[in-house]
A and B are shown apart, each in its own frame.
Chain A
Amino acid sequence: MSSADRVSSRQLVLLLAPALVLVLLLFGGGFAYSVLQSLGWQPLIGRTTLSLDAYHNLLFAPAYQEVFWSGLIFSLWVSTASTLLSAVLAVLIALLIHQAVQRSQLWSFLFQFNLPVPHLVAAIGMLFLLSQSGLVSRGTAALGLTTTPADFPVLVRDTSGIGIIIAYVWKEMPFIGVIVFGVLKSLNASVVQAARNLGANGWQRFRYIILPLIAPSLLSSSLIVFAFTFGAYEIPALLGVRYPRALPVTALFLFNDADLNSRTEAMALSVLITLVTSMVIGGYLWLRGIAQRLG
């Protein structure tokens, strides 16, 4: 490893430059331009003065206020519920698979298999399954629980976002689960056995041995899920309603508006979405820093 540590800075620059230039130019440039446009910079329609008007409009102007605040609450609700449900279910299932004596390979494969299914497909799948004449509704009819499609609850395109949450949990639970399962696999079984011998019951073994071990990866994967679900478009666009509407859907709606003036608000809204997720992730990193310093 000592020889690996010696590398000329010229070599390093050559290795890293293409990736850094592309990311800074495309990602950094794209984001910077969004911020600039959200401040009113629109040379195409002759606006070159900067102001915070668009942000003020979103938060307080009658034309946007209602859509913004209801959308913010809706998006926060959907992301929080999806993240918590996915995390709890993921831990339960990862534990189940870990403890399953037989065929744990098969289960963990089944558990992984919907990971590469795109979010767009997850949304469409939920339309087929959960609409009032969907597959699940036909199942409840076969069981005699319902007799007409109208008896089945409205789960997709509903006002409280149930369909969106179910689609996200379906997609994100295995994501958190695979990460937690990876930690569980590396867990030393003798520690758990020792705790059992000392008389620790199932809950105590989970609370004092397993949970502290999986906590860091559980937290970071849950945060990724929160950040993703808060800023993603496809699932709320296909499974949501007009009001209340998730913030990313409103942002794209404003962006595509024929009136180029609302593009400023669209940019401001997507900058605000980025700000919320950055605050959540920044807050977590800050808290983790404090926890590490405390020991």
Chain B
Amino acid sequence: MAARHRSTAWLRTLTLVFISMVLVAPLIAFLLNAFARSWFYPHLIPQQWTLEAWARILSPQSDVLQAMGNSLLIAGVVTPTALLVGLPAGRALGLYTFRGKRLVEFLLLLPAIVPPLAVSMGLAVNFLRWGLAGNWVGVSIAHLVPVLPYTILIFSGIFNQYSLEHEQQARALGAKSWAVIWYVTLPLIKPGIVVAGLFAFLISWSQYLLTLLIGSGRVITLPILLFSSAAGGNNLTIAAQAILFTAPALLLLLVTNRLLSTDAVSGLGRL
């Protein structure tokens, strides 16, 4: 009985090791390709290594650095905007019950489920008329569509477990509303702000289709550059760009693994 138990435990571990390898395999392929000077079939690892791709990325006329700059600029504008808009909405949904709450919730979360194609095309045509197509301002505004549902969801979860008592005590002691917000509310929900902010950043950072349609090919972010490399570039360039594009997401998971709830982690799957 014990022997059988031990052998099934082994089988389980073996299966899990295999699955983990499958999950990690693409990243290994990126790491090998990003440093491979020559790597002929059927060699399992490159025959000659090089830092050429990285030297090119760091050179002054690098298109990758410029694309990363655009990505950072857009995500840097989207993140605080989404926090400012999402926090109050999440507070209303998490703390209070009111008539029509289900409908409001449904409307605010809908952009997370509906395929982005139709909405993005309609926006692209409209933004063209308003002068918002083909520049980073329009792209940033459009990114709010996929970003907002998640920030609202995270804040509504936070406020669901939030007690108003501290705010009431502060007010009873004579604190003004800004002081209550600054010294009581914000410190209490700080972990929620961090998670929602990281999410907003990552969702904006990962947008391809929306950026392509609203940016009309003139706003070159990292995913736009990566996609066109993937459609017809060399493996060295593609792999290096893919690593740069994925790194923030993986860093986030490493740093915040303990902060994230199951809901929040599963939200990452929609990038």
Do residues A124 and B230 form an inter-chain contact, with CB atoms below 8 A? Answer: yes
Find residues 253-276 in chain A having any chain B CB closer than 8 Å to their own CB: 255, 266-267, 270-271, 273-274
Q: Between A and B, how many residue pairs show CB distances below 8 Å? A: 277
Do residues A110 and B20 form an inter-chain contact, with CB atoms below 8 A? Answer: yes
Which B residue's beta carbon lies closest to that of A232?
Answer: B115
Q: How far is the CB of B170 from chain A (nearest CB, A)?
A: 14
Do residues A27 and B41 form an inter-chain contact, with CB atoms below 8 A? Answer: no
Interface assignment of A81: CB less than 8 Å from any CB of chain B? no
Do residues A134 and B29 form an inter-chain contact, with CB atoms below 8 A? Answer: yes
- CB contacts (< 8 Å) of A126 on chain B: these are 26
Find residues 7-26 in chain B having any chain A CB closer than 8 Å to their own CB: 9, 12-13, 15-16, 19-20, 22-26
Chain A residues with a Cβ closer than 8 Å to the other chain, count: 95
The number of chain B residues touching the other chain, given as a range, is 35 or more
Do residues B12 and A99 form an inter-chain contact, with CB atoms below 8 A? Answer: yes
Tell me which of A55-63, A173-181, A193-201 binds B: A173-181
Q: How would residues 72 to 88 of chain B score, 1 for a CB under 8 Å from any chain A CB and 0 otherwise?
A: 00000000000011101
Q: How would residues 88 to 124 of chain A score, 1 for a CB under 8 Å from any chain B CB and 0 otherwise?
A: 0000010011011100000101111111111111111
Given A141-B41, A238-B231, A255-B121, are A121 and B115 also a contact pair (CB < 8 Å)?
Answer: no
8 Å CB contact of A16 from B104, B213, B250: B104
Do residues B111 and A23 form an inter-chain contact, with CB atoms below 8 A? Answer: yes
- CB contacts (< 8 Å) of B68 on chain A: these are none
- CB contacts (< 8 Å) of B92 on chain A: these are 12, 15-16
The docked-state distance in angstroms from the alpha carbon of A22 to that of B143 is 11
Which A residue's beta carbon lies closest to that of B26?
Answer: A125
Do residues B252 and A116 form an inter-chain contact, with CB atoms below 8 A? Answer: yes
The docked-state distance in angstroms from the alpha carbon of A20 to that of B223 is 29
Do residues B96 and A5 form an inter-chain contact, with CB atoms below 8 A? Answer: yes
Tell me which of B50-58, B187-195, B241-249 binds A: B241-249
Interface assignment of A7: CB less than 8 Å from any CB of chain B? yes
Interface assignment of A68: CB less than 8 Å from any CB of chain B? no
Q: How far is the CB of B251 from chain A (nearest CB, A)?
A: 9
- CB contacts (< 8 Å) of B97 on chain A: these are 5
The docked-state distance in angstroms from the alpha carbon of A29 to that of B19 is 43
Q: How far is the CB of B110 from chain A (nearest CB, A)?
A: 7
Do residues A128 and B249 form an inter-chain contact, with CB atoms below 8 A? Answer: no
Interface assignment of A209: CB less than 8 Å from any CB of chain B? no
Which B residue's beta carbon lies closest to that of A21?
Answer: B85
Do residues B29 and A9 form an inter-chain contact, with CB atoms below 8 A? Answer: no
Q: How would residues 101 to 125 of chain B score, 1 for a CB under 8 Å from any chain A CB and 0 otherwise?
A: 0001001101101111111111101
Do residues B115 and A138 form an inter-chain contact, with CB atoms below 8 A? Answer: no
Which A residue's beta carbon lies closest to that of B227?
Answer: A120
Do residues B141 and A26 form an inter-chain contact, with CB atoms below 8 A? Answer: yes
Interface residues of B (CB under 8 A from A): 9, 12-13, 15-16, 19-20, 22-30, 32-33, 41-44, 84-86, 88-89, 91-93, 95-98, 104, 107-108, 110-111, 113-123, 125-126, 141-142, 144-145, 148, 152, 164, 168, 202, 206, 208-209, 213, 223, 226-227, 230-231, 235, 238-239, 242, 245-246, 249-250, 252-253, 257, 262-263, 265-266, 268-271
Lowest 3 CB-CB distances: which A-B pairs, in order?
A231-B115, A125-B26, A175-B269
Interface residues of A (CB under 8 A from B): 3-5, 7, 9, 12, 14-16, 18-20, 22-24, 26-27, 29-37, 93, 96-97, 99-101, 107, 109-129, 133-135, 137-139, 141-142, 149, 170-172, 174-175, 178-179, 181-182, 221, 224, 227-228, 230-234, 238, 248, 251-252, 255, 266-267, 270-271, 273-274, 277-278, 281
8 contacts between A and B (CB under 8 A): A16-B104, A34-B121, A37-B122, A100-B13, A135-B28, A141-B41, A141-B42, A273-B118
